[in-house]
Structure 1
Amino acid sequence: MTAYDVARRLPAIPELRTLCRALAALDIVLNPDSNDRHHDYDTSWAPGEELASMWDGSGNEYSVVFTAAGAYVRGFDHESPMSPYATDDDQPWPGVLDTVPDVFRECVEEPAFSDDGTPSVTVCLWREHNDTAWRHGDIAFPDGDEDGADWLFALLTDPTPEAFQDWAEDYCEMPVDLDAVRHVYAGKPLTAAVVTALNPATTLAAVAARVAATGYPIS
């Protein structure tokens, strides 16, 4: 699966924003003592912009910037042959960023998504509010179609509670209550009972401020 496949499977902008907030809220509850959680959501990333992000601690990441124009998605698989650091010219793979519209050019040039001025990107998608589908560049992929999109965006292209449960039990090495995950995926306000079901070692009071900062509702 490449960026082309992700474009067909990614939820529309409102649903994607809701999903990203749910992932961030769940990560806070499951890992309340960590400052380096896998998923995050920043409601005050920039004036008029919000940022959903994933970072796996091994150099792989994605960013979803929600702007007044729509949404910009960027992913980086540091082991991909499409990485700028694996090419002869140390530049993004041809086609990945070439046709990003002007309304998202600031996202392309964002220093936080670059390394010494070179965009850290192997996958890029965008969608304006009046678009009917996610868009991407015209890309000639290397053998194997290895842009990292298949696994980087796995929880966004399979937006089911069951997919998150499978991922979280492996990542957190602990049982994860499926009904509690369903509650959060549905966008229902976080309650003390749901927090306890997800992680008996913490409380709603302990995580409420951080969850609220993601924009996720609190009971």
Structure 2
Amino acid sequence: MTVHDLAAALPGIPSLRDRCRALAMVEAILNPDRETRYYAFDAHWAPDQELASMHNGAGDAWSIVFTPAGAFLRGFDHESPMNTTGDSFDPWPGLLTGLPEVFAAQVTEPAFLIDGTLAATLCLWRRPDDDRWRAGQIDFPDGDDPDGAGWLFHVLLQGTPAAYQDFAEAYYETTVHLDAVTSVFAHHPLSEDLIHRLNPDLTLRNLAADAAEIGYPAPA
């Protein structure tokens, strides 16, 4: 899989945003420690900007910036041969070819840089009136997943409660109730019962700040 396959498979911006918010909310319920969460969403990251993100704690990450001008996505597989951080001040050739000027600020966003270089082995972008996600013209190195598109975005790409359940049970080594995850993916308002099915140690009050940050529906 490469970024071009990812571009063809991802849903439109509104659906992708909803997936990201759901991932972040169920993650916040399962894991109260913000510093070790795998998925996050900040609905107030910057003026008119929202940020969905993944960090696995081992140097790999992805970020999606949602703005009125569209969405910019970057993924970073630190073991990919397309990782140029530490070797060059430029991303892999072709990675940003055709990037619209409205997304230029994301390329120099300090949160996405390592030693002044964009930490990205793949990039995608989409304007609100585009009919698909777009990527640069890239000469990929050999390998089945040269830029990390397949494994970095596996759960997000599937976009199902079952995909997240499989991930979370392996990652957190605990039982995760599918019906509760399904409710969060449907963006049902939080309730004490829903929270307790995922984490009996938390309450609505504990999660109020997280829900506000994510922009998740308030309790009914």
TM-score bracket, normalised by the shorter chain, equals over 0.9
In the other structure, the counterpart of 2:121 is: 122
Q: CA deviation at 1:155?
A: 1.5
Please say if residues 3 and 149 of structure 2, whose CA atoms lie closer than 8 Å, have aligned partners that are also in contact: yes
Give the letter for the 1:101 counterpart: P
Q: CA RMSD in A?
A: 1.3
Alignment of 1:24-35 (within 5 A): 24-35=24-35
Give the letter for the 1:115 counterpart: I
Q: CA deviation at 1:201?
A: 2.1
Q: CA deviation at 1:86?
A: 7.3
Give the TM-score normalised by the residue count of structure 2.
Answer: 0.95
Write the distance in 1 (CA, Å) between the matches of 2:52 and 2:168.
18
Q: CA deviation at 1:190?
A: 1.2
In the other structure, the counterpart of 1:11 is: 11
Q: CA deviation at 1:128?
A: 0.2
1:94-117 residue CA offsets vs partner (Å, 9 max, x unmatched): 111132110101111111111122
1:15-48 residue CA offsets vs partner (Å, 9 max, x unmatched): 1111111111111100013433111111111111
Please say if residues 191 and 218 of structure 1, whose CA atoms lie closer than 8 Å, have aligned partners that are also in contact: no
In the other structure, the counterpart of 2:75 is: 75
Q: Secondary structure in 1 aligned to 2:210?
A: helix
Please say if residues 94 and 137 of structure 2, whose CA atoms lie closer than 8 Å, have aligned partners that are also in contact: yes
Please say if residues 82 and 147 of structure 1, whose CA atoms lie closer than 8 Å, have aligned partners that are also in contact: yes
Write the distance in 2 (CA, Å) between the matches of 1:34 and 1:109.
25
Unaligned regions of 5+ residues in structure 1, if any? none
Q: CA deviation at 1:57?
A: 0.5
Give the letter for the 2:61 counterpart: E
The list of structure 1 runs, each at least 4 consecutive aligned residues, that deviate by more than 3 angstroms after superposition, is none
Please say if residues 72 and 126 of structure 1, whose CA atoms lie closer than 8 Å, have aligned partners that are also in contact: yes
Give the TM-score normalised by the residue count of structure 1.
Answer: 0.95
Q: Secondary structure in 2 aligned to 1:163?
A: helix
Q: CA deviation at 1:160?
A: 0.6
Give the letter for the 2:161 counterpart: P
Kindly, what percent of the aligned residue pairs are identical? 52
In the other structure, the counterpart of 2:198 is: 198
Give the letter for the 1:166 counterpart: D
1:52-95 residue CA offsets vs partner (Å, 9 max, x unmatched): 111011100000000111000001000000001375x4531111
Unaligned regions of 5+ residues in structure 2, if any? none
